[in-house]
Amino acid sequence: MTAADRRLLLVHAHPDDESIGNGATMARYAAEGAQVTLVTCTLGEGGEVIPPELAELAADRTDSLGEYRIGELTAAMRELGVADLRFLGGPGRYRDSGMMGVPDNDRPDCFWQADVAEAAGHLVEVIREVRPQVLVTYDEHGGYGHPDHIQAHRVAMRAHQLAADPDWRPELGPAWRITKVYWTRVPRSVLLAGLEQAAARFPLVAAEQDVPGVVPDELVDAALDGARYAGHKAAAMRAHATQITVDGGFFALSNDRWQPLLADEYYQLVHGPAGSARPERDLFAGVEVR
Ligand SMILES: [Zn+2]
C-alpha cells in the first residue's frame, strides 16, 4: 500500500482535542502523503477563554467563541499540514454541551442531546465519501467523561457500523467498511513521568483523571514516534490560544494545571487486524490496499 492510498479519519469533540491528542500522528501521515480527514463535532462554544483580551468571546458574554475557534482550528490544521477539516453536520450544527452536570447539558441544540443515529448519519456520509481504512476516536468514557467526548465516541462507533451496512441509508453512498478502529490512549507510566517533570517546573500540575485516555501501559497496542513532528504539534496547540498555553514541553488548559506535551502518541486497537509488531509503529500496519 503506498502512502497516497492511505486514508485516516479522526473524530473529535471540540477544536483543540485533535492537536492535543493526535497532532503528531496527523502531521506524520499528512507529511507522508496520506489523506487525513478531521471531523470535529462541536465548535467548543462553552470553553473558557484564557487570554484576558479575548474574554468577551465567552458564552456568557458575546457568545462568539465558536466562530473564533473555527479560525483557531483552521490555523492548527495548517500547522499540521491537514487540509480536510469538517464539522459534523456543518459548523454549528451541534453545540458544545459543557462539562458533565452543567445546565448546558440540557440545551436542545447541544451535542449531548443529539440523536445518535441522526448524528451518525452525518458521519456515515463522510466515511462513504472518504473511505478511510483507519478511524481514531475516544473510548466509551470519552477519555475523561466530558459529555461531548462520550457522544463523539458513540457517534463514531455507530457510524463505523452503519457505514458498512449497504441497506442503511444507501442514498449516503456505497457501503464502506473501515479496517481498523483505534481509541486514543496515554500509558499511565508515560503520564506519571511527565507530570513529575511538570511538578519540578510549575506550581500546579494536572491530575491523572484530567488527562483523557490514561490506561495501564499494557492496554496500549500502538506507539507512534512523534519526535519529527513535535514542533508541528506544539505549533498546532499554540494556534488554539483561547484554550491552551504552551511552554516548552508542557502545556496548560484554562485551569492552569500543567501537563506534559507528548510528542509520542499512543493507541488501543479495538477493531481490525493487529500488525505484526507490538506495539505497532504504524496505524496502517496490516491494512490491505483498497
Ligand atoms: Zn474536548
Question: Does 285 fall in a domain?
Answer: no
Question: Does 211 fall in a domain?
Answer: yes
Please give the distance, rounded to the nearest whole angstrom, from the Cα atom of residue 145 to the centre of ligand 1.
10
pLDDT band at 84 (very low <50, low <70, confident <90, very high): very high
The average pLDDT across 217-242 equals 98
* Percentage of residues in the chain having pLDDT higher than 70: 99
Q: Which tens digits make up the pLDDT trace of 48-79?
A: 999 999 999 999 999 999 999 999 999 999 99
Task: Tell me which residue of 186, 126, 187 sits closest to 159, measured CA to CA.
Answer: 126
What pLDDT does 143 receive? 87
Please give the distance, rounded to the nearest whole angstrom, from the Cα atom of residue 204 to the centre of ligand 1.
21
Question: Does 286 fall in a domain?
Answer: no
What pLDDT does 41 receive? 98
Please give the distance, rounded to the nearest whole angstrom, from the Cα atom of residue 289 to the centre of ligand 1.
33
Per residue, what are the HEC states of 235-266? HHHHHCCCCCEEECCEEECCCCCEEECCCCEE
Q: Which tens digits make up the pLDDT trace of 111-165?
A: 999 999 999 999 999 999 999 999 999 999 988 899 999 999 999 999 999 999 9
The average pLDDT across 82-104 equals 97
Give the three-state DSSP class for 126: helix
| Terminal C-alpha separation, the chain | 9
Pairing relationship of beta strands 250-252 and 245-247 according to DSSP bridges: antiparallel
What CA–CA distance (Å, rounded) separates 236 from 222? 22
Please give the distance, rounded to the nearest whole angstrom, from the Cα atom of residue 211 to the centre of ligand 1.
11
What pLDDT does 289 receive? 66
What pLDDT does 288 receive? 85
pLDDT band at 202 (very low <50, low <70, confident <90, very high): very high
Question: Does 281 fall in a domain?
Answer: no
Q: Which residue has the cell 483543540?
A: 16
> How much of the chain is helix, strand and coil, in % rounded to 5?
40, 20, 45
What pLDDT does 159 receive? 98
The average pLDDT across 260-276 equals 97
Q: What's the structural domain count of the chain?
A: 1
Question: Does 284 fall in a domain?
Answer: no
Angle between helices 17-31 and 230-239 (to 10 degrees): 140
What pLDDT does 290 receive? 63
Q: Are the beta carbons of 265 and 24 closer than 8 angstroms?
A: yes
Domain that holds residue 133: 3-271
Question: Does 91 fall in a domain?
Answer: yes
pLDDT band at 2 (very low <50, low <70, confident <90, very high): confident
Q: Which tens digits make up the pLDDT trace of 101-121?
A: 999 999 999 999 999 999 999
What pLDDT does 4 receive? 82
**With 80 as the cut, is the pLDDT of residue 1 above it?**
no
Annotated ligand binding at 149? The verdict is yes
Please give the distance, rounded to the nearest whole angstrom, from the Cα atom of residue 288 to the centre of ligand 1.
32
Q: What CATH number is associated with residue 216?
A: 3.40.50.10320
Question: Does 22 fall in a domain?
Answer: yes
Please give the distance, rounded to the nearest whole angstrom, from the Cα atom of residue 173 to the centre of ligand 1.
29
What CA–CA distance (Å, rounded) separates 281 from 276? 10
What pLDDT does 26 receive? 98
Task: Provide the mean pLDDT of the chain.
Answer: 97
